[in-house]
């Protein structure tokens, strides 16, 4: 019997109508839909291993997943697989690329960093074209205060104060953030956060906290104190899910 093929998929989706990457019992996860389409194409019904688990409503532009399939079942050039899968997927999910990779490649454990971007529309009236992908914050925000506070997240920190409780034991809360930046283009404010990994709802907690700083409800120095003496709670509020996009997953260069 020949060794199985490992295939990498680069995936984008609008998460508005989906219950996250893995949905649990609802069956409305992005992975559920993709695995159903794969089962229709490959008799072994391969399961997907993903780089990230996104929450309900969160989008992705660069999620990476892999699956293994017996070589005998792959009767087409792998490069054509994306188009074949997209023919059976809903318009809100797209496979951007498919390619064969070494069996040592692992979508989750091989990733060296993940980049998320969060959009805020900061104007009295919401841009209706961004209803599904940006958080409307009508009150004025202090951009410079947010940028100052954002820089405090960079480095290896204990992010216990920037995660939400979930079932199970909370493991290590140390993460290394390599970039946390705020960019403004007219009313559109974009937060970019890249790290070696993220705690549950960590991105949304950071953005919510920075918006608190921008609105004057917190001071940049409050952020420094929370990072130095973390507590088991989110200091600000979690920004809504629909403004968040998994932008890119990076792997070692070969």
Residues 6 or more apart whose Cβ sits within 8 Å of residue 128 = none
Is 55 among the residues known to form the active site?
yes
Domain ranges (residues) in the chain: 5-101, 113-250
72 contacts 42 by C-beta, under 8 angstroms: no
**pLDDT value at residue 168:** 56
Domains 5-101 and 113-250 are alike in CATH topology: yes
Q: Between β-strands 244-250 and 59-69, what pairing exists: parallel, antiparallel or unpaired?
A: parallel
**pLDDT value at residue 217:** 93
**pLDDT value at residue 23:** 72
Closest CA to 57 of 192, 244, 252, 248: 244
Considering the domain delimited by 113-250, tell me its CATH architecture: 2-Layer Sandwich (3.30)
Which residue numbers in the chain have pLDDT < 50?
Answer: none
Q: Looking at the whole model, is its pTM more than 0.95?
A: no
The chain-wide mean pLDDT, for the chain, equals 93
- Tell me the β-bridge partners of 113: 250
Considering the domain delimited by 5-101, tell me its CATH architecture: 2-Layer Sandwich (3.30)
From the candidates 10, 55, 142, 222, which is the catalytic residue? 55
- Please give the structure tokens belonging to residue 62: 């660069």
| Distance in angstroms between the alpha carbons of the first and the last residue of the chain | 29
**pLDDT value at residue 75:** 86
């Amino acid at each position: 019997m020949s060794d199985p093929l490992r295939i990498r998929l680069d995936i984008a989706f609008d998460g508005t109508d989906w219950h996250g990457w893995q949905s649990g019992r609802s069956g409305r996860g992005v992975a559920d839909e993709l695995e159903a389409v794969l089962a229709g194409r490959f008799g072994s019904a391969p399961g997907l291993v993903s780089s990230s688990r996104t929450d309900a409503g969160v989008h992705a532009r660069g999620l990476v997943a892999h699956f293994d399939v017996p070589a005998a079942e792959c009767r087409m050039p792998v490069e054509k697989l994306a188009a074949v899968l997209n023919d059976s997927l809903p318009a809100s999910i797209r496979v951007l690329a498919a390619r064969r990779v070494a069996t040592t490649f692992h979508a989750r454990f091989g990733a060296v960093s993940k980049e998320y971007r969060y959009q805020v529309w900061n104007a009295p009236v919401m841009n209706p074209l961004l209803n599904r992908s940006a958080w409307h914050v009508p009150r004025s925000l202090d951009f410079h205060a947010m940028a100052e506070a954002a820089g405090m997240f960079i480095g290896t920190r204990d992010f216990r104060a920037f995660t939400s409780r979930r079932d199970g034991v909370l493991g290590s809360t140390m993460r290394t953030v390599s970039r946390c930046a705020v960019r403004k283009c007219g009313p559109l404010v974009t937060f970019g956060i890249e790290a070696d990994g993220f705690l549950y709802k960590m991105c949304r907690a950071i953005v919510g906290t920075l918006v608190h700083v921008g609105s004057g409800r917190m001071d940049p120095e409050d952020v420094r104190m929370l990072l130095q003496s973390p507590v088991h709670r989110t200091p600000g509020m979690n920004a809504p899910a629909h403004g968040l996009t998994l932008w890119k997953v990076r792997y070692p260069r070969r």
